[in-house]
Amino acid sequence: MIPDATLAALFAAAVAARENAHAPYSRFHVGAAVLSESGAIHAGCNVEVASFPEGWCAETTAIGKLVSAGEKSIRAVVVVAEGDRLTTPCGGCRQRLAEFAAPDTPVHVGGPDGIRRVFTVGELLPASFELEEQP
């Protein structure tokens, strides 16, 4: 569990990042924010390119910013999209989240109006693929 004020800040960061989504092909704007072990918040949006498979998800942008800032551990995640269906991280992003989060790390999903459901990383990616890190 993270404090309510921290979750509110994480949610606000995801909403703000979503405003910058570059999604001219799907028109589906997504924002994501990750809370690091140090308490820093890293947020990102989806970035689409004309060669469709080359685009990437909001979660991937946020994880890239976390790692670029020298951090390796995610304590909580927020994903904000739109529409009636829940937007949960795609398969690739589940694996990326599992790389830097624990199975019990919460993933809050919802829309600009608020969080609608909370999953854990372990629920989203059970029996995840792992490798030993090399010395």
Which residues of the chain form contacts with ligand THU (CB under 6 A)?
A: 23, 26, 28, 30, 46, 48, 55, 57-59, 79, 87, 89-90, 93
Rounded least distance, CB 89 to ligand THU, Å:
5
- DSSP string for 96-133: HHHHHB-TT-EEEEEETTEEEEEEEHHHHSTT----PP
CB 35 within 8 A of CB 11: no
Rounded least distance, CB 84 to ligand THU, Å:
15
Per the residue annotation, which of 48, 59, 71, 132 is the catalytic one? 59
Q: Is 59 designated active site?
A: yes
Nearer to ligand THU, 41 or 80 (CB): 80
Nearer to ligand THU, 26 or 38 (CB): 26
Rounded least distance, CB 111 to ligand THU, Å:
13
Full 3-state SS string of 58-101: HHHHHHHHHHHCCCCCEEEEEEECCCCCCCCCCHHHHHHHHHHE
Q: With residue 53 as reference, give the H or E element that holds it.
A: none
- DSSP string for 9-29: HHHHHHHHHHTT-B-TTT---
Nearer to ligand THU, 55 or 112 (CB): 55
Nearer to ligand THU, 41 or 58 (CB): 58
Rounded least distance, CB 99 to ligand THU, Å:
16
- Residues with a catalytic annotation lie at 59
